Amino acid sequence: MLARIGKWYEGEYKVYDNDPRSSVVIFAGWQERHWTSNAAHVLVEFYFREWKWIIGTGIALAGLVFAYIKLG
């Protein structure tokens, strides 16, 4: 299961099509990802970049919810 998730997350490596008549060969390519994988990459990168205030905000909101439940 983890292997399938990893394959989905990383996507498929596609190589450039080389012209068979050309003497120039390109050994490059790109990662082709599903749109949901791209969305997951954006969310993970955002979390790793902004984890400090995300955790602090989550703790503050949890405190507000607990205070509301206790007082309400």
Report d(CA 27, CA 14) in Å as an integer: 11
Both tokens of residue 20? 């068979």
The domain tally of the chain equals 1
Task: Please give the pLDDT value at position 37.
Answer: 95
Mean pLDDT, rounded, for 10-33: 87
Range of the domain at 20: 2-71
Amino acid identity of 28? A
Share in percent of the chain as helix, strand, coil (round to 5):
65, 10, 25
Mean pLDDT, rounded, for 10-37: 88
Task: Please give the pLDDT value at position 49.
Answer: 95
pTM of the model: 0.64
